[in-house]
Chains A and B, each alone.
Chain A
Amino acid sequence: MARLAGIDLPNKRIVIALTYIYGIGLGTSKKLIADAGLDESSRAHALSEEDLNKLRDQIKKIQVEGDLRREVGLSLKRLIEINCFRGQRHRRGLPCRGQRTKTNARTRRGKKRIAVAGKKVAGKK
Chain B
Amino acid sequence: MARSQKKGPYVHESLWKKLQVMRASGEKRVIKTYKRASMILPEMVSFTIAVHNGRKFIPVYCTESMVGHRLGEFSITRTFKGHSGSKKTK
Please determine whether chains A and B interact with each other in the same assembly. Answer: yes
B38: min CB distance to chain A, Å: 14
Q: In the complex, are the beta carbons of B66 and A84 less than 8 A apart?
A: yes
Q: In the complex, are the beta carbons of B76 and A82 less than 8 A apart?
A: no
Bound complex: CA A88 to CA B66 (Å): 14
Q: In the complex, are the beta carbons of B74 and A83 less than 8 A apart?
A: yes
**Total chain B interface residues with beta-carbon distance under 8 A:** 10
Please give, as numbers and ranges, the residues of chain B lying within 8 Å of A123 by CB-CB distance.
87
Using an 8 Å CB-CB cutoff, how does the interface string of A73-110 with B read, 1 for contact, 0 for none? 00000100111111010000000000000000000000
Query: A61 on the interface (CB 8 Å rule)?
Result: no
Is the contact region of chain A dominated by helix, strand, or loop, or is it mixed?
A: helix
Q: In the complex, are the beta carbons of B65 and A82 less than 8 A apart?
A: yes
Please give, as numbers and ranges, the residues of chain B lying within 8 Å of A85 by CB-CB distance.
72-74, 76
Bound complex: CA A13 to CA B31 (Å): 61
A19: min CB distance to chain B, Å: 29
Q: Which residue of B lies closest to A87 (CB)?
A: B73
Query: B54 on the interface (CB 8 Å rule)?
Result: no
- CB pairs A–B below 8 angstroms (13 shown): A78-B65, A81-B65, A82-B63, A82-B65, A82-B66, A83-B74, A84-B66, A84-B69, A84-B73, A84-B74, A85-B73, A85-B76, A86-B73
Q: List residues of B whose CB falls within 8 A of some A CB.
A: 63, 65-66, 69, 72-74, 76, 85, 87
